[in-house]
Chains A and B, each alone.
Chain A
Amino acid sequence: MSTVLPRKSLGSVFARSFLVQGSWNYHTMLGSGFAFAILPVLRVLSGGDRKRLDASVRRHLEHFNAHPYLVDLALGATIRLEADGEDEETVHRFKAAVRGPLGSVGDSLVWGSWLPAVSLVSLASVWMGASPAVAALIFLVLYNLGHLFLRIWGFRTGLREGRSVARYLGMSGLGAWTERLRFLAAGLLGLAVGAILAGEGGLADAGPVWGILSVVAFVCGLLVGHRVWRPTAVALVSAVALLATWGFVV
């Protein structure tokens, strides 16, 4: 028997989902954030029974992790299960089953594809001469269109599908969207590289030596991957420190 939940409580859960990572910790990860976010609905479902509310809050404090934007999918589905009166074990098993996929799908879709793609558009615009406000707005508007769409879609889908959300996630084509976005991002990476090469204040202005060194550095990053990032940052800081010291002494 499904309980009809007030829109205000659902809206409150959705708003709280923006703070879900607020108490992220190495023990329960998003567990306490999940309990904090779902609380308005738990209050309604407990019907004023304090002991029942305390018990349901404690259940949701358990270890949980997901991509912060796709956590809305888990919240929506969990609300549906709770409203349908599913037993504790079913809710627990559901959350344990979706936390892995919601983390990996979200990481590759958002952090690995969408964020770099939009950042590259904005970076390209900088070397194409965009003003500070325009470059920042290009990023914020484009990025948050995808961000908010994903959150709203996730919450509504979760509420509608309940425990079927795991199957729905597999059929939604998010994997295919990730691949398309990665293809697009590679093109946008080329766009940004072209703009940095020829744009005002870019490598053309810096001179051919810096251009050649940049090509070597690019190939180095391409061949070695993430392992070379930290040594690069250390090398830049060391080079700046050496130059500053040299200028100071000489």
Chain B
Amino acid sequence: MDFAHILLVSFAGGILALDATSAGQFMVSRPLVAGVLTGSLLGDPAQGLLVGALLELYLLVSFPVGGARFPEGPTATVVAVASSLATPAAGAVPIAMAVGLVWGQIGGWTITGLRRLNGHLVPEPAEAGAGPRRVVTAHLGALSLDFLRGALVTVSGVLVGGYIVRATVEAWPISASDSIGLILVGGAVSLGILLRSLGGFKRRKAVFAVGMALGLAVVRFL
């Protein structure tokens, strides 16, 4: 990946990180969408969709709830998609996914750090100088820092991820379909957790079964 593309995906990482919590929350930052966007920026939207959809399976049960500590989906996705495109080979997707998940965790820690820093940036209600100008400056400053944080986490992840994929992918010992199978096993855990949080199997078994039959039928007959 050349310098211009690294710069481009870092900028995308910063913008997507903002969308996750600080600005808008239009959920362009969800892995599936962020994956397609990153793939498109790097010339391979199909690979972006594959990696984004697999990460979406994992992060389906991870939501940006208030002060909750969660892996950061958008930077994880940008890092995973960019790393998976470092070398086209069977092992690129699982290795990039693993790097993405680790980077998502690192991204989550940096969010915690930034929120602590924000506590020092924003004016106290009792502070004498806490006027409109101070509030606007602190708020826009915190937004800028979040963009910078997202971009830095992304660029470091893309560089490290690309290196790891290039160094290990040739020796990857299992086929592409087995690699996807391995990832889907992990994703199945998230789907089970989601069914539990939607009411559990006993309460939802009928509608779940109808949905599954419909899904199988659509894929089989359409």
Contacts and interface: CB of A to CB of B under 8 A. Distances in A.
Contacts of A221: 188-196
B67 to A, nearest CB: 6
Nearest to A51: B131
Contacts of A68: 25
A5 interface: no
Interface of B: 21-28, 30, 32-33, 36-37, 39-40, 45-46, 48-50, 53, 56-58, 60-67, 71, 91, 94-95, 97-98, 101-102, 105, 115-116, 118-119, 121-127, 130-132, 135-136, 138-143, 146, 168, 171-174, 177-178, 180-201, 204, 207-220, 222
B142 A22 contact: yes
Given A29-B66, A140-B28, 16 more contacts: A36-B135, A58-B123, A116-B61, A116-B194, A126-B49, A128-B215, A132-B39, A184-B207, A189-B211, A190-B213, A194-B217, A194-B218, A198-B215, A213-B181, A214-B185, A217-B189
Interface residues of A, number: 109
Interface stretch (A72-80, A160-168, A233-241): A233-241
Interface stretch (A6-14, A169-177, A203-211): A203-211
A61 interface: yes
A123 B57 contact: yes
Interface of A: 18-19, 21-29, 31-33, 35-36, 39, 42-43, 50, 53-54, 57-59, 61-62, 65, 68-69, 103, 107, 111-113, 115-116, 119-120, 122-124, 126-128, 132-133, 135-136, 139-140, 143-144, 147, 182-199, 201-203, 205-207, 209-210, 213-215, 217-226, 228-229, 232-233, 235-237, 239-241, 243-244, 246-248, 250
